[in-house]
Amino acid sequence: MKTKIGLIVNPIAGMGGSVGLKGTDGEMRHRAVALGARPVAPGRAREFVSRLACRERICLLLAPGPMGADYLDEVDVESQLVGTVSSETSPADTRRIALEMREQGAGLLVFVGGDGTARNICDAVGTEIPVVGVPSGVKVYSAVFANSVHGAASMVDAFVDGTDLAEEEVLDIDEEAFRHGLLDARLYGYLLVPRLEKFLQGGKEASGAGGSPLENKQEIGEYVAEEMTADVLYLLGPGTTVKAIADALNLDKTLLGVDAVYNRGGVGSDLNEQGILKLLDQYPQRRIIVTPIGGSGFIFGRGNRQFTPEVIRRVGRENITVVANRDKLAKLPSLRVDTDDAALNQQFAGFIDVVTGYRFSKLVRVEY
């Protein structure tokens, strides 16, 4: 008998990232569209299904239309539709369809989205059936997500083969606070996931957790600021470690946004993709400075989707600086990237030099 696996896609998840929004909850979805945001989840859903090695052994229970069925057009796999969706999809659709899939015997639920979608799934089924989260949202900090699309497919394959399960945390991110530069991450609940640590991202670690010294970040900030070259555009990504660089320059910095510095002065604040691309047209020499997310180690693809594949390619891997305090780095087995471009992800495989203090750095492996 084939294993029934539910697939629910939040079609607007992640759309706010490239345009500098901090999510697409509520009316933000309309603002994202107005700003020219492009859908992210559909491509990730299609890639996920195409990477499944267990297709002959499963039956996919699909939410209708843009919440699932639309992404099976090029893959041969048994499937059936479950439920109905609104003309404008909503969290209520996610919760209702998750319940219907459970009632129809789904042994595993796969959802494509971000932390908001994870909370909806948690509300619907809790720990009654296991799940796999395919990362697609602007906010992807919960520990129930695979570290990549192909990692999610591998988790499903392992589940079909038979694997242990574990409870992992779902975080509640206050999106309104997030838009104002505050990452307020609180425990919302738990979901069951296949116990496969090599494919599962770690949960968000709060800034300063584990006694990370403020002095270390200040050292990094002072050193990077001193090393800045004249006539080079510097794009500063989110995070407190990167903010320490702006502090050393006596400049304001949006904690969760991308800001631009040129000749030690600010030339852009809380930039979206289009704002960044305009600056790249203006300044021929440029660098990106980012810090990994504590707990998961992502340097691109989580929390900084303004750095789109086009932006990263134009700047070039050789012009990317990674900074991280020593305590955070010691807890990470590797750094990770998860852009929407598989070839670009591959370019980062290997090692990258990470600034860890004043005139101190460390070579760290990057995976995708």
Structure confidence by residue, pLDDT tens digits, 241-264: 999 999 999 999 998 899 999 999
Tell me how far apart the alpha carbons of residues 270 and 16 are, in angstroms, rounded to a whole number.
Answer: 13
Contact 224, 357 (CB under 8 A): no
Which tokens go with 348?
Answer: 């980062």
Tell me how far apart the alpha carbons of residues 351 and 46 are, in angstroms, rounded to a whole number.
Answer: 30
pLDDT (0 to 100) of residue 291: 96
pLDDT in tens, 314-339: 999 999 999 999 988 988 989 999 99
pLDDT in tens, 170-207: 988 776 666 566 666 788 999 999 999 889 887 665 44
Which residues touch 206 (CB under 8 Å, ≥6 apart)? 185, 294
Closest Cα partner for 115 from 140, 83, 135?
140
Question: For the CA atoms of the chain, what is the radius of gyration?
Answer: 20
pLDDT above 80 for 34:
no
pLDDT above 50 for 210:
no
pLDDT (0 to 100) of residue 198: 86
pLDDT above 60 for 239:
yes
Distance from chain centroid for Cα 175: 15
Grade residue 209 by pLDDT with cuts at 50, 70 and 90.
very low
* Angle CA 271–259–233, to nearest 5: 105
Tell me how far apart the alpha carbons of residues 167 and 282 are, in angstroms, rounded to a whole number.
Answer: 49
pLDDT (0 to 100) of residue 173: 73
pLDDT above 50 for 42:
yes
Which residues touch 61 (CB under 8 Å, ≥6 apart)? 4, 5, 6, 7, 79, 80, 82, 101, 104, 106
Mean pLDDT over all residues of the chain?
Answer: 88
Q: With respect to CATH, is domain 3-194 assigned 3.40.50? A: yes
Please spell the DSSP secondary structure of 135-176, one letter per residue. Answer: E-SS---STTBBSSHHHHHHHHHHHHH---EEEEEEEEE-HH
pLDDT (0 to 100) of residue 16: 57
* Angle CA 336–150–320, to nearest 5: 25
pLDDT in tens, 162-180: 999 999 999 887 766 665 6
Give the pLDDT mean for 150-160.
Answer: 95
Percent of the chain's residues with pLDDT above 90: 68
pLDDT (0 to 100) of residue 181: 61
Which tokens go with 95?
Answer: 């919760």
Percent of the chain's residues with pLDDT above 70: 87
Tell me how far apart the alpha carbons of residues 22 and 31 are, in angstroms, rounded to a whole number.
Answer: 11
pTM to 2 decimal places: 0.71
Domain ranges of the chain: 3-194, 209-367
Grade residue 273 by pLDDT with cuts at 50, 70 and 90.
very high
Tell me how far apart the alpha carbons of residues 293 and 185 are, in angstroms, rounded to a whole number.
Answer: 13
